[in-house]
Structure 1
Amino acid sequence: MSLPEKPQRIGSLELHLDERIQHSVWTVQRVGWVLMGAFLLAAVLGLFGDGPLSRASAEGGGLKLEYVRTARVSFPITLDVHGTSDGQGVFQLWFERSLFEKSKVEHVMPEPERVEFSSERVTYIFRTTAPGPVHVVLELKPERAGKVHAQLGVVGGGEVRFEQLVFP
């Protein structure tokens, strides 16, 4: 790159200007501004935390799950499960065991009557006063970053799959 032979006078300054370089710098700056704006908009909408894009739901066979798509390691998240107890007032909610290999259970509300473990599932058994709708809130604390693929369901009923992305 060679400088212009004659400097340009701007005010009291004499400068060597290369308009091609200046236009390149402006283009890079504009691209940077657009990327920063897109990143900020995604953050405000909840792509990296709490916001409209972060919430999701899954339904199947009379079972509804409300959850967040993105989470952070060591920050609690909730899984809201809505279902219906059987004719005897029992609600048996199972989760794939792989979910608990990546997350720690902090709280379950209401408190289950008992918990059963198998090689593939963890089943929470709730006793209700009468057959009808049941709402269970499971508070988890993710322990590892990465993508989580999990499944949950009601014994003898519907099941749903969901995915979450856990950031470090």
Structure 2
Amino acid sequence: MESRTHWLECHGDAIDRGVLGLFGNGPLSWTTASDQSLIVEYQRFGRNQAPLQLRIHLPAGLGKDDSVSFQLDRAFVADVQITRITPKPDAEQPISDGIRFLWSSNVGEGAILVTVSYQPEHIGFLTARISVGDAASVSMRQFVYP
């Protein structure tokens, strides 16, 4: 009887962790990185080639001519397949350390929320540096399961 109780406790702990998000979706799976006015929400864990998202809160007016932009570093862009960005950027520019996404001044007043949908292409730790010009920069780190 004692071994059965132990077995149930062990499996119950694993189920609890899964429900809470330690293996994917759940309340513990999302975290936030921020620096000054840049806020990035992301999932701590994901699965290889399964959909994930970055939620990037961009402050308006940090770019030239009231445009809004952010950069993703080269390592992140090389390790994922970006499937969609909403709202759709007006322009994408390759830069020395990655890619810059730009929106014109008509994206709305105040901060805007940009959602980057992507799929990891490797197992293990996935890191990214998200920056808004020289004004703010944050790093994120995810673990990608097989």
Normalising by structure 2, we get a TM-score of 0.89
- The aligned runs of 1:15-164 (5 Å cut-off) are 26-86=1-61, 88-129=65-106, 132-164=110-142
CA contact (8 A) 2:31 2:42 kept: yes
Distance 1:34 1:115 in 2: 51
**Structure 1 runs not aligned, ≥5 long:** 1-25
Deviation at 1:32, TM superposition (A): 2.5
Q: Select the structure with the greater relative contact order (CA < 8 A; seq sep ≥ 6).
A: 2
Detail structure 1 runs of 4+ shifted over 3 Å in the superposition.
26-31
- Bigger CA radius of gyration: 1
> Pairwise CA RMSD of aligned residues?
1.7
**Structure 2 runs not aligned, ≥5 long:** none
Normalising by structure 1, we get a TM-score of 0.78
Question: How many corresponding residue pairs?
Answer: 143
Question: Which amino acid in structure 2 is aligned with residue 148 of structure 1?
Answer: L
CA contact (8 A) 2:77 2:98 kept: no
